[in-house]
Amino acid sequence: MGAGSQSPADVFRWFCIEKGSSANPLVILIHGFPSQAYSYRKVLTVLSEDYHAIAFDWLGFGFSDKPQPKFGFDYTLDGRHYKPQLYYASSLESLVNEMAPDKLSLVVQGYFAPVVVKYASCHQEKLRDLVLINPPLMEKHAKLPSTLALFSNFLLGEIFSQDPLRASDKALTSCGPYMMKEEDAMVYRRPYLTSGSSGFALNAISRAMKKDLKAYVGTMRTILTNKSWKTNTTICWGLRDRWLSYDGVEDFCKASNHKLVQLPMGHTPMHVGYLIRCVYKGYTRWNIFYDKLRVSYRSNFAAGIFRWAPPQPYYQSEDTSQSQNFCERSKNAYNPVRVSYGMNIQNYNAA
């Protein structure tokens, strides 16, 4: 696994980036499976005008720690591990407690929505708003698409999980009408090129998702339709999603009294920055957002949807040259933060 991928039993390093003034309301952006915080690069810039926006890599993804499956971390939602804090819902709670002592808003995309909804159900008093981007809401969503399911294959899953092209490029571009520039693709590939721990984590997560996703989806539906659910919830749905069908989503939102916004995009959250601002500002007229979205969508698709100028990270070094490649910057300017259960965030380089 490599010494750099390991950490003490109760301490994990989370890679986080932020943009905007800390005096503004906090919004935490949570990526989906199998993506990274990098997928929110455009959203961070838009939200930073009015909010303090933070995105992080889940454990097992991107530049956060990848604990050894079953020994350092249980890559499941419901905590079958003998240590209850070593699973996703509880680790999210620990991270949020360190980042946000007061109220906050959450945005989550894709297959990690059940984790965030479970956390939110226990902390509704702390949430201002919840935005779900293409979550697996319906029973038909409880099956992983073939592009992701292959990572859980009993014989070939571990081999496929170690392939940077399958684990990043192919998986990310198969979910919608996306193109990827080579310099951006390298950001997603780098964790798989530098350590086998990324592949082992992907394999463990895929197996857990394949086995328990149906139960996770059922639990999330129960929470969102329960009368005790009081959190202001908006569901954004990209109609070009190739993984999750839109059938039944509108009826679910009407029955549960949640806002629904249809978007001309795929599964990933590349163009929802203006929309999230509208949601949090309480705007009811979406035509302004759609005008901006159409222009952004056309121009960015022509140029390569994943083009990005990196936002301001946590603990940025003095070197702010925009000419540096993100892969190079991630070694110095993009310092992860260390979160220890029950302790404060520390500068990882100083720890």
Q: Is the pLDDT of residue 282 over 60?
A: no
Burial status of residue 31 (CB atoms within 10 A of its CB: 0-12, 13-18, 19 or more):
buried
How do 127-133 and 104-109 pair as beta strands? parallel
Q: Is the pLDDT of residue 329 over 50?
A: no
pLDDT one-digit tens code per residue, 243-269 = 999 999 999 999 999 999 887 777 766
pLDDT one-digit tens code per residue, 290-316 = 444 444 434 333 333 322 233 333 333
Closest CA to 63 of 16, 21, 133: 16
As for how many domains the chain has, the answer is 1
Q: Interhelix angle for 113-122 vs 88-99, to 10°? A: 60
Report if pTM > 0.75. Answer: yes
Task: For residues 339 and 266, give the distance between their C-alpha atoms in angstroms, rounded to a whole number.
Answer: 33
Q: Is the pLDDT of residue 201 over 50?
A: yes
What percent of the chain has pLDDT above 90?
42
- The predicted pLDDT at position 249 comes to 94
pLDDT one-digit tens code per residue, 14-69 = 999 999 999 999 999 999 998 999 988 888 888 888 899 999 999 999 999 998 88
Task: For residues 135 and 264, give the distance between their C-alpha atoms in angstroms, rounded to a whole number.
Answer: 16
Closest CA to 135 of 174, 105, 172, 109: 109
Quick one: pLDDT band at residue 2, thresholds 50, 70, 90?
very low
Task: For residues 44 and 52, give the distance between their C-alpha atoms in angstroms, rounded to a whole number.
Answer: 9
How confident is the model over 228-233, as a mean pLDDT?
A: 94
Residue 144 falls inside a structural domain: yes
Residue 241 falls inside a structural domain: yes
The more confident residue out of 36 and 289 is 36
Residue 2 falls inside a structural domain: no
Largest CA distance in the chain: 52
Residue 122 falls inside a structural domain: yes
Q: Which long-range contacts (CB under 8 A, 24 or more apart) does 244-247 make?
A: 244/134, 244/136, 244/138, 244/141, 245/138, 245/140, 245/141, 247/138, 247/140
Neighbours of 18 (CB within 10 A): 23
- The predicted pLDDT at position 287 comes to 42
Closest CA to 108 of 87, 134, 75: 134
Q: 291: domain range?
A: 13-347
Task: For residues 178 and 181, give the distance between their C-alpha atoms in angstroms, rounded to a whole number.
Answer: 10
- The predicted pLDDT at position 271 comes to 52
Closest CA to 184 of 310, 272, 294: 310
**In terms of residues, how long is the chain?**
351
- The predicted pLDDT at position 278 comes to 59
Q: Is the pLDDT of residue 191 over 70?
A: yes
Quick one: pLDDT band at residue 168, thresholds 50, 70, 90?
confident
Task: For residues 25 and 21, give the distance between their C-alpha atoms in angstroms, rounded to a whole number.
Answer: 9
Residue 3 falls inside a structural domain: no
Residue 7 falls inside a structural domain: no
Task: For residues 53 and 253, give the distance between their C-alpha atoms in angstroms, rounded to a whole number.
Answer: 27
* Pair 132, 236: CB distance under 8 Å: yes
* Pair 259, 234: CB distance under 8 Å: yes
Q: Kindly report the CA angle at 56 between 55 and 58, in degrees rounded to 5? A: 140
- Beta carbons within 8 Å of 182's beta carbon, 6+ residues apart: none
Task: For residues 301 and 113, give the distance between their C-alpha atoms in angstroms, rounded to a whole number.
Answer: 26
Would you say the C-alpha torsion 265, 267, 270, 274 has a positive or negative sign?
positive
Assign residue 180 the CATH number of its domain.
Answer: 3.40.50.1820
- The predicted pLDDT at position 323 comes to 30
Q: Is the pLDDT of residue 156 over 70?
A: yes
Residue 39 falls inside a structural domain: yes
Backbone dihedral angles phi then psi of residue 238, each to the nearest 5 degrees: -80, 115
Q: What is the chain's mean pLDDT, rounded?
A: 75
Residue 8 falls inside a structural domain: no
- The predicted pLDDT at position 324 comes to 37
Give one DSSP letter per residue of 33-90, joined into a string: TT--GGGGHHHHHHHTTTSEEEEEPPTTSTTS--PPBTTTB--SSS--SSSTTSSHHH
Q: Answer left, alpha or beta for residue 31, where phi above 0 means left and psi between -120 and 50 means alpha.
A: beta
Quick one: pLDDT band at residue 219, thresholds 50, 70, 90?
very high
